């Protein structure tokens, strides 16, 4: 009797209330709040900045944080708060755009590979395996060496680096989905391949793709900032968190604020996105239900 | 009670430790913190700064070059050159002995130069100084004639470099066999070398070769010099602060600036001769093909302010293509375009560069005043943004792109730059040929891509001219041509930076900025 009761109780709710689960998920709520603040700062940068990002004043170099300069000034006397808010724009744009590129290209490659199989699958899988053979940052560095420095190239380099994970995940999801009855049904009523791919298969795998993308944005921001830190991304006159950290690296002992604030920016952006992604995956991932 | 005696012991130990440090200093042991360990102390094998620094304390040259750039007798007491500068006769001193007791003579010079011409490591600096070397003829024990296949106008200057100093012939077999047989005639005797730790030199009590520009003659004041290898910038500075070293090389500019007002230390800076760090302006690419644009760029840049901000005043600004400490420096070509932002704007307006759409960037015939600026952060990080801002203030758009050296070379070779950083440390202005001779535009470093018959003629003729006055006049004209055509934006001279304990006296740089420790003593 007892045993039967327990089985009944453990039976999952067939239609869980996702929205309710989300707003009560600690990770999701905190992540969303922090991310909203970060995005708010980036979007409203022109209103929040107190100074021209490129106004150098060597006489006011290395000023500690004060009422005039909320985050102090750097070696050239530029206002770090203003560079911080504009730098966040660049860093977030790099992370988001790279992830969109990787997500679109990877998913499309994955569903083609999974749906058609055969030599298409072999060719696409081979390409992604080559890409995966390199550590992410090394691959990005190689691509940067070919394309040359610049923000657009960083987006492309980081984006290409994220293709394999999306491709693999989409491919395995399609392999599972294409054998299901409703696909056979669609085929029977004469749907075209494109219709089956994008109207029937894609919606079924899109949830896991979005969770993966959310989790990946954080690392994409980090990778973009790393490339800028190395001088390959945003160019000197453009504020960007990674290159700002680099600019203050040699002055940490005497002027910690030059590096610490942009570092805090990277930290908060990545933390918020990771918490958000973690929350999403706790709610949507079948393993966690 | 027990605890108390332990404390007393500790205090005594401290006193003993500190006492021994100051006692050492009194005895005349100088400890120098080097940033890079020498690879060899063999004159014919060296190439790096720390090697030059140590070698010139163990060996002597035939001719010294004083801090004033003039030549002083060393192991050679007299010298003369033939008409076309291919043969040099030296009278040698007969009263000098190597550290191993053998006598210095003509044979030693012949062996040293023959060996230097071949070099002992692939990277040796010596062979490049002796490319046209034919032979050294030993006339008698105290006379040699050095022969070249073509005019070598810089040979006498080159002789003062460490790479052509004279080692003992008796030690050559050991040197070639890889032994640490560093035997010269210099003020200090090589004592020991603990790899990756230190090199120790002892005073040569019989030294009698000191050049006339030194403050004293005879043996050096110091009993011992210990060169400690301290590759970490922070470690070197701590060594100085704790009294472990009395002189350290290459502190970070920020740290050095922080010590400017410290009464316990002194900072020695040296403005190197040669071509200062400057931006080469591409005269073939739009818009810098316009002389007015190049002149305006020069007026727009305030080197003084830029370098004060960038290096905290430790690096000197430059205003010409040759730094003032270089031989044949022409003061008339210096600061031809003093900083004047209004003048820069006026020159541009007059030449038709007007900002008609109010975006802060000037245009002419629908084309923007855009400067492509590829920069190498290793050399330009401290000033590149300030330089870009200076030009922006005058109405330029500056595309500042940082690259690695391979990228810079590619852009420079293709001529895709408007401005590109360049510089060359040298006592002699002959290096101007490398960067301004039009035959070096393709496949060379002539990144201004400037073609002028007279400049080419000067830069080809001057290295072959033996008469110093004639040669000087040629290089002075070259400087005028370069600056009148505004081919470059000078930025700063190269500098050497040493920090020393306040007690160190008699510290001196030679003509190329290597420290000379022969006169060094400790203040009592």
- Tally of CB atoms within 10 A around A13: 7
Task: Give phi and psi for A211, each to the nearest 5.
Answer: -60, -45
Hey, are the CB atoms on B377 and A76 less than 8 Å from each other? no
Find out whether B33 and B226 touch, Cβ atoms under 8 Å.
no
Inter-chain touch B385–A235, beta carbons under 8 Å: no
Question: Which two three-digit tokens encode residue B487?
Answer: 């081919």
Q: Any bridge partners for residue B489, and if so which? A: B279
**Coarse DSSP helix, strand, coil percentages of chain B, rounded to the nearest 5 percent:** 35, 25, 40
- Given this model, what pLDDT does residue A231 score? 81
Chain B residue numbers touching A236 (CB-CB < 8 A):
375, 384-385, 388, 400, 402
Residue B397 in contact with partner chain A when CB distance is under 8 A: no
Indicate if the pLDDT at residue A124 is higher than 60: yes
pLDDT, position B9: 43
Half-sphere exposure of B111 (CA within 13 A, CB side): 15
Of the CA atoms within 13 Å of residue B160, those in its CB half-sphere come to 23
**CB distance from A254 to chain B under 8 Å?**
yes
What percentage of chain B reaches a pLDDT higher than 90?
61
Closest chain B residue to A54, measured at CA: B389
**Number of helices (H), then strands (E), in chain A:** 13, 0
Q: How far apart are the first and last CA of chain A?
A: 26
| pLDDT value at residue B15 | 42
Check: complex ipTM more than 0.85: no
Residue B134 vs residues A203, B84, B150: alpha-carbon distances, Å: 83, 15, 9
Hey, are the CB atoms on A236 and B402 less than 8 Å from each other? yes
Distance between A236 CA and the closest CA of chain B, angstroms: 7
- Per-residue pLDDT tens digits for A139-195: 888 888 888 888 899 999 999 999 999 999 999 988 888 888 888 888 889 888 888
In chain B, residues with a C-beta closer than 8 Å to the C-beta of A150 are: 401
Q: Is the pTM of this model over 0.80?
A: no
B251, B497 in Cβ contact below 8 A?
Answer: yes
pLDDT at B405 over 80: no
Q: In terms of C-beta distances under 8 Å and separation of at least 24 residues, what long-range contacts does B434-440 make, across chains too? A: B435/B275, B435/B280, B436/B478, B436/B482, B436/B487
Q: What residues are paired with B29 via a beta bridge?
A: B224
Confidence of residue B19 (pLDDT cuts 50, 70, 90): very low
Nearest CA to B63 among B501, B496, B371, B427?
A: B427
> What pairs with residue B268 in β-bridges?
B498
B385 part of contact set with chain A, CB < 8 Å: yes
Q: For helices A257-284 and A80-116, what crossing angle results, to 10°?
A: 30
Tell me how far apart the terminal alpha carbons of chain B are, to the nearest angstrom: 40
Query: Contacts of residue B317 in chain A, CB cutoff 8 Å?
Result: none
Token reading at B83: 């008409």
**pLDDT, tens digit, for every residue of B466-518?**
888 899 999 999 999 999 999 999 999 988 889 999 999 999 998 888 899 99
Is the pLDDT at B5 greater than 60? The verdict is: no
Q: Where are the alpha helices (DSSP H) in A117-256?
A: 118-132, 136-147, 151-177, 181-188, 193-195, 202-229, 241-248
Residue A146 at interface with chain B, using a CB cutoff of 8 Å: no
Task: Number of helices (H) and strands (E) in chain B: give both, helices first.
Answer: 17, 24
Q: Is B361 exposed, middle or buried (0-12, 13-18, 19+ CB in 10 A)?
A: middle
Nearest-angstrom CA–CA distance, A273 and A266: 11
| Chain B residues close to A56, C-beta within 8 Å | 309, 385-386, 389
- Least CB-CB distance to A76: which of B375, B377, B386? B386
Q: Which of 57-76 (A) contact B at CB < 8 A?
A: 58, 61, 75-76
Running DSSP on this structure, what letter comes out for residue B97?
B
Q: Which domains can be identified in chain A, with CATH numbers?
A: 18-288 (1.10.3720.10)
CA distances from B222 to B26, B127, B214, B507 (A): 10, 33, 14, 12
Q: Tally Cβ neighbours within 10 Å of residue B258.
A: 15
Give, in order, the Cα–Cα distances in Å from B294 to each of A158, B280, B322, B367.
39, 10, 18, 17
Residues of B in contact with A250 (CB under 8 A): 252, 254
The CA distance from A128 to A163, in Å, is 7
Q: Which of B26-30, B307-311, B397-401 has the lowest mean pLDDT?
A: B26-30
Q: Do A58 and B254 touch (CB under 8 A)?
A: no
Question: What is the token pair recorded at A121?
Answer: 């699958």
Which residues in chain B are closer than 8 Å to A231, comparing Cβ atoms? 377, 402
Do residue B375 and residue A251 have CB atoms under 8 angstroms apart?
no
Tell me whether residues B400 and A148 touch, CB distance under 8 A: no
Residue B30 pLDDT more than 90? yes
CA B109, B110, B111, B117 dihedral sign is: positive
Look up tokens 């400690």; give the residue.
Answer: B228
Mean pLDDT of B242-263: 82
Task: Judge contact between B219 and B203, C-beta under 8 A.
Answer: yes
* Closest partner CB to A250 (pick from B252, B305, B388): B252
Residue A235: per-residue pLDDT: 85
pLDDT digits (tens, 9 = 90+) for B78-119: 999 998 889 999 999 999 999 999 999 999 999 999 999 988
Partners of B305 on chain A (C-beta within 8 Å) are 58
Cα separation of B85 and B430, whole Å?
Answer: 16
Answer yes or no: is pLDDT of B266 > 80. yes
- CA geometry: angle A20, A21, A27, nearest 5 deg: 125
Q: Residue A287: its pLDDT value, please?
A: 63
Q: Identify each DSSP E strand in B234-342 by its residue range.
A: 247-249, 265-271, 274-281
pLDDT band, very low/low/confident/very high, at B2 (cuts 50, 70, 90) = very low
**Residue entry with tokens 């020393």:** B500
**C-beta atoms of A149 and B403 within 8 A:** yes
B152-198 pLDDT tens trace? 888 998 899 999 999 999 999 898 888 899 999 999 999 999 998 99
Per residue in A18-74, pLDDT tens?
Answer: 788 888 889 999 999 999 999 999 899 899 888 888 888 877 888 899 988 889 998
Q: Which of B252, B254, B402 sits opposite A235 (nearest CB)?
A: B402
Contact across the interface for A236 and B375, Cβ inside 8 Å: yes
Tell me B482's DSSP state.
H
Q: Are B164 and B58 in contact (CB under 8 A)?
A: no
Rounded mean pLDDT of B246-253? 84
Separation between Cα atoms, residue B402 and residue B198, nearest integer Å: 38
Partner-chain residue, chosen from B305, B308, B384, that has the shortest CB–CB distance to A236: B384
Contact with chain B for residue A236, Cβ under 8 A? yes
Contacting residues of B for A76, CB less than 8 Å apart: 309, 385-386
What local confidence, expressed as pLDDT, does residue B380 receive? 86
More confident residue, B350 or A237: B350
pLDDT higher for B519 or A135? B519
Query: Å from B434 to nearest chain A CA?
Result: 28
Mean pLDDT of all residues in A266-273: 92
Nearest to B60 by CA among B48, B76, B44: B76
Q: Answer whether A106's CB lies under 8 Å from A162's CB.
A: yes
Q: Could you tell me what percentage of chain A is helix, strand and coil, using 3-state DSSP and rounding each to the nearest 5? A: 75, 0, 25
Distance from CA of B254 to the nearest CA of A (A): 8
The beta-carbon neighbor of A254 closest among B254, B389, B392 is B254
Mean pLDDT, rounded, for B396-408 = 88
- Closest-approach residue (CA) in chain A for B378: A231
Whether residue B308 and residue A149 make contact (CB cut-off 8 A), yes or no, is no
> According to the model, what pLDDT value does residue B87 have?
93
Q: Is A111 exposed, middle or buried (0-12, 13-18, 19+ CB in 10 A)?
A: buried
What token pair was written down for B127? 């062979």
H or E element at residue B488: strand B488-492
Nearest-CB residue to A76 (from B309, B401, B402)? B309
Instruction: Identify the pLDDT of residue B491.
Output: 95
Mean pLDDT (whole number) for B1-7: 45
Q: How far is B250 from A156, CA to CA, in rounded Å?
A: 40
Residue B7: per-residue pLDDT: 45
* Euclidean distance between CA atoms B223 and B202, whole angstroms: 6
Predicted confidence band of residue B233 (pLDDT cuts 50, 70, 90): confident
C-alpha separations of A32 from A275, B18, B330 in Å: 8, 60, 67
In a mutational test of the B interface, the residue from A147, A154, A236 whose CB has the highest number of chain B CBs within 10 Å is A236
Average predicted confidence (pLDDT) for chain A = 86
Decide if pLDDT at B134 tops 80: yes
User: Token pair for residue A152?
Assistant: 């657009």
Residue B269 pairs with which residues in a beta bridge?
B497
Biggest CA–CA distance in chain B, Å, is 94
pLDDT tens-place string over residues A212-241: 888 888 889 999 999 988 888 888 888 999
Lowest mean pLDDT among B172-176, B225-229, B387-391: B172-176
* Mean of the per-residue pLDDT values of chain B: 88
Q: What is the pLDDT of residues B37-86, one digit of tens each?
A: 888 999 998 877 889 999 999 999 999 988 887 899 999 999 999 988 89
Note whether A250 contacts B254, CB cutoff 8 Å.
Answer: yes
Residue B62 is classified by DSSP as S
């Amino acid at each position: 009797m007892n045993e039967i009761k327990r089985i009944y109780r453990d039976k999952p709710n067939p239609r869980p209330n996702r929205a309710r689960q989300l707003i009560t998920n600690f990770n999701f709520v905190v992540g969303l709040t922090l991310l909203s603040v970060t995005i708010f700062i980036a979007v409203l940068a022109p209103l929040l900045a107190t100074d021209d990002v490129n106004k150098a004043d060597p006489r006011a170099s290395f000023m500690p944080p004060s009422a005039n300069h909320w985050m102090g000034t750097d070696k050239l006397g530029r206002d770090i708060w203003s560079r911080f808010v504009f730098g966040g724009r660049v860093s977030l744009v790099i992370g988001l755009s790279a992830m969109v590129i990787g997500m679109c290209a990877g998913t499309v490659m994955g569903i083609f590979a999974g749906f058609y199989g055969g030599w298409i699958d072999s060719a696409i899988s081979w390409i992604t395996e080559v890409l995966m053979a390199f550590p992410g940052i090394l691959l990005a560095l190689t691509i940067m060496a070919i394309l040359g420095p610049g923000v657009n190239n960083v987006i492309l380099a980081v984006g290409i680096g994220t293709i394999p994970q999306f491709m693999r995940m989409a491919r395995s999801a399609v392999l599972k989905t294409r054998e299901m009855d409703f696909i056979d049904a669609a085929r029977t009523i004469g749907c075209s391949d494109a219709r089956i791919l994008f109207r029937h298969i894609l919606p079924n795998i899109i949830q896991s793709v979005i969770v993966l993308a959310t989790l990946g944005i954080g690392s994409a921001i980090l990778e973009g900032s790393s490339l800028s830190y190395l001088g390959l991304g945003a160019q000197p006159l453009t504020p960007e968190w990674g290159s700002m950290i680099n600019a203050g690296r040699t002055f940490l002992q005497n002027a910690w604020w030059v590096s610490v604030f942009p570092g805090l920016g990277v930290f908060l952006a990545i933390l918020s996105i990771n918490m958000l992604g973690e929350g999403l995956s706790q709610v949507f991932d079948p393993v966690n239900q | 009670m027990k605890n108390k005696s332990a404390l007393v012991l500790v205090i005594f130990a401290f006193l003993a430790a500190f006492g021994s440090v100051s006692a050492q200093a009194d005895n005349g042991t100088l400890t120098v913190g080097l940033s890079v360990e020498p690879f060899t102390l063999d004159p014919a094998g060296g190439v790096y700064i720390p090697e030059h620094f140590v070698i010139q304390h163990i060996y002597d040259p035939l001719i010294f070059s004083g801090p004033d750039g003039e030549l002083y007798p060393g192991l050679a007491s007299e010298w003369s050159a033939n008409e076309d500068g291919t043969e040099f006769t030296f009278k040698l001193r007969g009263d000098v002995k190597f550290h191993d007791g053998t006598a210095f003579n003509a044979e030693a010079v012949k062996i040293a130069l023959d060996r230097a011409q071949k070099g002992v490591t692939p990277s040796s600096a010596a062979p490049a100084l002796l490319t046209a070397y034919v032979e050294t003829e030993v006339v008698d024990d105290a006379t040699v004639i050095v022969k070249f296949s073509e005019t070598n106008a810089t040979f006498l200057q080159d002789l003062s470099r460490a790479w052509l100093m004279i080692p003992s012939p008796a030690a050559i077999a050991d040197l070639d066999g890889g032994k640490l047989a560093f035997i010269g005639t210099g003020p200090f005797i090589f004592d020991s070398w603990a790899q990756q730790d230190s090199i120790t030199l002892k005073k040569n009590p019989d030294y009698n070769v000191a050049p006339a520009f030194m403050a004293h003659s005879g043996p050096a004041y110091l009993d011992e010099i210990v060169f400690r290898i301290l590759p970490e910038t922070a470690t070197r500075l701590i060594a100085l602060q704790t009294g472990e070293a009395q002189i350290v090389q290459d502190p970070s500019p920020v740290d050095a600036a922080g010590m400017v007002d410290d009464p316990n230390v002194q900072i020695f800076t040296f403005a190197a001769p040669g071509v200062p760090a400057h931006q080469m302006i591409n005269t073939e690419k739009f818009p810098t093909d316009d002389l007015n644009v190049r002149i305006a760029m020069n007026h727009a840049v305030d080197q003084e302010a830029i370098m004060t901000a960038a290096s905290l005043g430790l690096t000197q600004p430059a205003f010409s293509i040759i730094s003032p400490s270089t031989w044949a420096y022409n003061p008339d070509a210096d600061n031809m375009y003093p900083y004047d932002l209004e003048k820069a704007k006026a020159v541009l307006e007059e030449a038709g560069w007007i900002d008609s759409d109010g975006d802060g960037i000037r245009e002419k015939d629908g084309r923007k005043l855009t400067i492509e600026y590829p920069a190498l952060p290793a050399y330009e990080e401290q000033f590149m943004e300030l330089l870009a801002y200076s030009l922006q203030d005058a109405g330029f758009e500056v595309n500042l792109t940082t690259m690695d050296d391979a990228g810079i070379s590619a852009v420079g070779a293709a001529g895709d730059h408007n401005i590109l950083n360049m510089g060359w440390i040298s006592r002699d202005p002959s290096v101007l040929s490398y960067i301004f001779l039009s035959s070096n535009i393709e496949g060379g470093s002539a990144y201004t891509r400037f073609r002028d018959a007279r400049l080419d003629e000067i830069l080809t003729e001057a290295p072959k001219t033996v008469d110093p006055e004639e040669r000087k006049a040629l290089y002075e004209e070259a400087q005028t041509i370069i600056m009148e055509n505004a081919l470059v934006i000078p930025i700063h001279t190269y500098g050497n930076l040493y920090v020393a304990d306040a007690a160190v006296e008699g510290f001196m740089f030679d003509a190329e900025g290597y420290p000379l420790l022969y006169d060094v003593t400790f203040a009592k």
